Structure 1
Amino acid sequence: MAASLRVGAPFRRAAARSEAGRLPPELQAELEAALAGEDPRLSFALLRRLHQARREAGSQEFLHELLEDSEIFLPEARKPPRNPELVARLEKIKAQLANEEYKRMTRNINCQEGNRFGTLAVMGRQVRSSKALVVTILNFIVTVAATFACTYLGSQYVFTEMAARVLSAVIVASVVGLAELYVMVRTLEGELGEL
């Protein structure tokens, strides 16, 4: 908090003029002692008494005119030394808060995750499952096609007409295809039940 002020040139001129002689002698001596130093400073209490005395003397100058180039002296505030125990506790609390913040930010991150689709193990299971599905579909197509071909070629010994051979091959291939579909659906249903 401000305790004094450094006086400027207007105040020094007013103090040197004849008006200063109208001040009480003890106030005049105190003013001269305050202005005598290299860095003249006036306390606010002395300034109030000077202002009151100048009013009573009938001075025509106002106080704000006299203090025009003056500066308020603000001493540096000294901070008391911090308690080392308090500093240690604060550092510990800061570390705990930073750790909690880190855990909160990283709670949904899985280090096992290989990409945005899931872990590599999940991806491997999906590849194996899709591989098994592709093999099953190819097996179905090859089985139906082979059944049709075998029936068509084998029916030449029973039927002489081409339409009868094709019709018998389609019927046998359809029956084998339906049986294969039934087995495939039961297998997929079992695999889906395991998931």
Structure 2
Amino acid sequence: MASRLLAGERLVRALEPGGELEPEQLPRKLRAELETALGKKHKSGDVPSGPARLVSFRLIRDLHQYLRERGSTLYLHELLEGSEIYLPEVVKPPRNPELVARLEKIKIQLANEEYKRITHNITCQDSRHSGTLSDFGKQVAAFVCTYLGSQYIFAEMASRVLAALIVASVVGLAELYVMVRAMEGELGEL
């Protein structure tokens, strides 16, 4: 979180002798803190760490409070012209190798579970063997049922056979339609 700002040239010049803050007669303590923060003078050989001219928000608040109390015509936003909020670089800690290994293991586990979920309805049966005699058996059953049931409607053998053939053909076409739709769906998923 930001707690300091990088002072612009205007604030630096305002603190110099003959600058804009000189007529305001800043308290000695406030002036000394500002000059120290701006790198103008350091106590007993202190060298500022990081970028120079970093001023804390507390000092800026104190300066603002003082200017307000004095009824100064100098406004803080004018002094801070050219200044920027200082955001220190965030140093990321190195990742724990044990944690990385556990995360990789969990990723692999989740990938396997997803694979199993996706492929749970796929069977290992060969598609060439389905649809041979099993479909033909449905058509034969439809023929036999229609042939035996049509004896109550038709007296002649030819009419009964013709009705049974029509029903068996309809059952065969329905099976063919279902098989084509299923193959179409499988090819669409590829």
TM-score (norm 2): 0.55
For residues 40 and 120 of structure 1, do their structure 2 counterparts lie closer, same or farther at Cα, with a shift above 3 Å needed? same
2:4 is matched with 4
Q: Is 2:133 aligned against 1:120?
A: no
- The structure with higher relative contact order (CA 8 Å, sep 6+) is 2
Flag structure 2 segments of 5+ consecutive residues without an equivalent: 41-50, 141-156, 162-190
Question: 2:26 pairs with 23, 28, 52, which one?
Answer: 23
1:32 to 2:35 alignment:
yes
Q: CA RMSD in A?
A: 2.9
- After TM superposition, the structure 1 = structure 2 runs for residues 180-195 of structure 1, keeping only pairs within 5 Å, are none
* More moved, 30-39 vs 93-102: 30-39
CA contact (8 A) 1:20 1:28 kept: no
Percent identity of the aligned residues?
Answer: 53
Give the 5 Å matches for 1:1-195: 1-16=1-16, 17-20=19-22, 22-36=25-39, 39-113=52-126, 119-125=127-133
Q: 1:27: how far off?
A: 1.6
- Opposite residue 23 of structure 1, the aligned amino acid is L
Deviates more, 1:101-110 or 1:48-57: 48-57
| 3-state SS of 2:22 partner | helix
SS in 1 for 2:5: strand
**3-state SS in 1 of match to 2:74:** coil
Bigger Cα displacement from structure 2, 13-22 vs 71-80: 13-22
Distance 1:91 1:20 in 2: 63
Q: Which amino acid aligns with 1:105?
A: I
Matched residues, number: 128
TM-superposed CA distance for 1:2, in Å, is 0.7
Residues 135-163 of structure 1 show CA distances to partners (whole Å, capped at 9, x for unaligned) of: xxxxxxxxxxxxxxxxxxxxxxxxxxxxx
Q: Select the structure that is richer in helix.
A: 1
Taking the aligned partners of 1:125 and 1:7, their CA distance within structure 2 comes to 89
Q: 1:93 to 1:87 in 2, by over 3 A?
A: same
Contact 1:19 1:59 in 2 (8 A): no
CA contact (8 A) 1:4 1:43 kept: yes
After the TM superposition, which parts of structure 1 deviate over 6 Å for at least 4 consecutive aligned residues? none
- 2 CA distance for matches of 1:57 and 1:13? 21
- Residues in 1 aligned to 2:93 and 2:21: alpha-carbon distance in whole angstroms: 46
Alpha-carbon shift at residue 71 of structure 1 (Å): 0.6
- Counterpart AA for 1:6: L
